[in-house]
Structure formats: structure tokens, C-alpha cells
Amino acid sequence: MMVVRKKIGLVFIYSEQWIGGTYYIMNLIHALNSLADERKPFLYIFSRPEDYQKLLKEVSYPYMQFVHMEENPDHPFLQWVNRAGVRFLSRKLFKKRFSGQIDAIFPFQRNHYIESIPMEKRYYWIADFQDRRLPQFFTEEDLQEKGLRHQWIADHAQHLVLSSEAVHRDWKTYYPSAGCNVHVIHFAVTHPEFRNVDFSDLSRRYALATPYFFSPNQFWAHKNQLVVIKAAELLKAKGKQVRIYFSGKENDNRNPGYVEGLKSYVKEKGLEEEIRFLGFLDRKDQLQILNHSLAVIQPSLFEGWSTSVEDAMAIGKPVIASSLDVNREQLGEQGIYFSPTSPEELAARLESILESTPEFTYSYDNKVKTFAEDFLSILEN
């Protein structure tokens, strides 16, 4: 019998500035690939050529096709007309639009090429409402842009995907009159084969020394790395040796100088032996470094659903996390919590693990397939 596959569009933009969004789509494709063959949808990847090539290096999915999300026409004459239009009329006269047939597109974002897709087939995604909770970390321009987008979704969208019940509660608080269907889906991670990465080679390349804690996060101000550094400072004052390695893109365009401030603090307090910054890591290197750590530290002041926490759970590492509702939703009783404003509490948690590493057992076997089934269910129902 011939299998009739759902036709799903996925928008994929590779960005090291927000690698979590990039990993989300990669993990979704991996999850869909875990389904029985007859359940696997056909995927149209709306992307740019260079981004699609990066995706192909990370995923292997049998039913997938590239769609160039480019509104400029292919014909040279029409391109010339557009250049003239921009020069003399300040607008392009000819724009391409997607003309294919699909059942759904996710995560929908404003782009002329896909504006032809009907509203009922658009599934929007909001990672979190950090802009409402921690507006001090955003520029006025960013706040206005996010506010307008979220209000537009509340007023017009038919489908919205959120990653946690904590974010869902925020949605209902900030947009109580929104009429769209809200779908909460906990995402799960699928890892590339990283265990064959030679850890002794990693240790040489990154000058690692065991034992150590690992905190892999983007360097944005709300990720709260300073509380970790201050906890290490407290332990050093007590004569307790601790090593903590940070990784992540060292750039916060909303808060210039943030990373430099952290590094200056480390130098000023003489914590170069305790704190190291490893930079943006290859994904396999990152996972193998996490795999050899004592525990993962997630100190964030705000999250929608943490990829770093999910990575640790999938590998089976303890997580020391800030006591956010979303972290408790994600980790449950397995989490080791501390107040994100208390370096003293974090220092106590680190000291406890240095003395006796806790057992961490989390069943991850069915979580990837559940992610895929939950995603398909919102399209089918």
C-alpha cells in the first residue's frame, strides 16, 4: 500500500548567535527520523544554500527537500528591474513566492517568500518571554520589535508552539485575550556520535584538567555566569579547589562588554586556575567535555527550555540549576537547585558534589520519539 506522507515545511536558519534555535530544528528532524517509516513526514527545508549544507552534515533523513527561501526572482532581467525599482521607487517590483502544497510550516516567520502559505497552516513558535520578565537586558528597539511580533501572533495566529508550561503561563498572563491554539511540546535532543572523540586529545587542545564542572551556555547577560564565578571565588577562599569551564559564543550584542566584564572579574580576583573560557565549541567536542564533567551548571535567570539541561539529561550527568519554575519542570526531583542570586548556595552545591558525586539516572529512551509524536499530533488534530 502506498504511504501518504504529511508534507511539513521547516524553516532552518543557522545562527551561532542563537545556536539553541538551530539545534531545535536539527533535533526535531532527528526525532522524526526515529519514527516508523510509514509515520515519517516529507520535509521541505526552507533555508539558504549554505545553511542547508550545514544541516546535511548533521542530519540524515530519507524524505527531505531543500527549498530556497529567497524572494528575489531567478531571471536576470527581473533582478535588474528590481535593482532599478529599489533605486528609483525604493521597492522591489517582482518577488517570488512559494507555490507548492504543504500541510504545515514551522516555525513560521515573516518572509515574503512564504507569505503565500495560508494562516491555518502556519505554526508560530515563541521560545520564551524573557523580554517581559527581564526587559533590562534588551534595547528599546528589541523590546518594541518583540512586543509587536508577539502581539501580532496573539491577534492573528491560529497555532502557537511553546516549549514549556512555564512559558505557557506567561503567555496567558501577557496575552489573556489571544485566541490561537497553543501547543506545549517539550523538545528532546539527539546527539551525534561523540564518545569516540579522543578525550586526551581534547584535554591537550583545551588544556583541560580533571575533575571539573561544565557550564555550556551562550554568553548573554541573563545566563548569569557571574554567580558561578563568585561561587568559585568563595570556594577558593575556603581552600577548596574547583575548576569550572564555560563554553559558548562570547558575544552579547544587547550588552556589549558583558563577556569582557566577566573575564576582568576573573583576572581581578585571581581565579584563572578556577575559571576557564573555552569559546564556541564543535558540537562533538562540547558533548564529550560535558560527558567527562562532574556536573553541568545551568545558572540562568530565565529560560524557555534549556538545551544544555537536555544534553546533560540525555548523557546522564547531574545538573545544578537555578531554581526557576521551568528548570523544575524540566528536571523534576533529579535537579540540584540553588537561588540564581546566591553564589553561597551554588558554592555549597558544588562543594557537596566535589565530596560525593550523586547518582543521576534519567530514562531518556522514549523521550525523542515522544517529541516527534507530540509534534505530529498537533498537525493531525
pLDDT of residue 149: 95
What order do you get walking across the sheet with 244-247 strand by strand? 275-277, 244-247, 213-216, 296-298, 319-322, 336-338
- Domains defined for the chain, CATH in brackets: 7-188+368-380 (3.40.50), 199-355 (3.40.50.2000)
Residue 274 pLDDT level (bands cut at 50, 70, 90) = very high
Lowest mean pLDDT among 23-27, 89-93, 200-204, 292-296: 89-93
Mean pLDDT for the chain overall: 91
| Residue 253 pLDDT exceeds 60 | yes
| Residue 80 pLDDT exceeds 80 | no
State percent of the chain over pLDDT 70: 93
Task: Judge whether 208 and 244 are in contact, CB under 8 Å.
Answer: no
| Residue 98 pLDDT exceeds 90 | no
pLDDT of residue 361: 76
Task: Judge whether 298 and 319 are in contact, CB under 8 Å.
Answer: yes
Lowest mean pLDDT among 69-83, 137-151, 287-301: 69-83
Residue 4 vs residue 163, higher pLDDT: 163
Average pLDDT over residues 314-338: 95
Q: How far apart are CA 42 and CA 350, in angstroms?
A: 46
pLDDT of residue 76: 64
| Residue 248 pLDDT exceeds 60 | yes
| Residue 341 pLDDT exceeds 80 | yes
pLDDT of residue 95: 65
Residue 121 vs residue 20, higher pLDDT: 121
Average pLDDT over residues 354-362: 82
pLDDT of residue 74: 62
pLDDT of residue 75: 56
Q: What is the DSSP track for 329-367?
A: HHHGGG-EEE-TT-HHHHHHHHHHHHH-PPP-----TTH
Phi-psi category of residue 70: left, alpha or beta, with phi > 0 → left and psi -120 to 50 → alpha? beta
Average pLDDT over residues 228-232: 98
Classify the C-alpha dihedral 24-25-30-36 as positive or negative: positive
Average pLDDT over residues 6-19: 89
pLDDT digits (tens, 9 = 90+) for 111-161: 888 988 999 999 999 999 999 999 999 999 999 999 999 999 999 999 999
Q: How far apart are CA 350 and CA 332, in angstroms?
A: 19
Q: What is the DSSP track for 197-249?
A: S-HHHHHHHHT--SS-EEEE----GGG-HHHHHHHHHHHHHTT----EEEES-
Residue 79 pLDDT level (bands cut at 50, 70, 90) = low
Q: pTM score, two decimals?
A: 0.89
Q: How far apart are CA 128 and CA 65, in angstroms?
A: 30
- Give residue 167's Cα distance to chain centre: 14
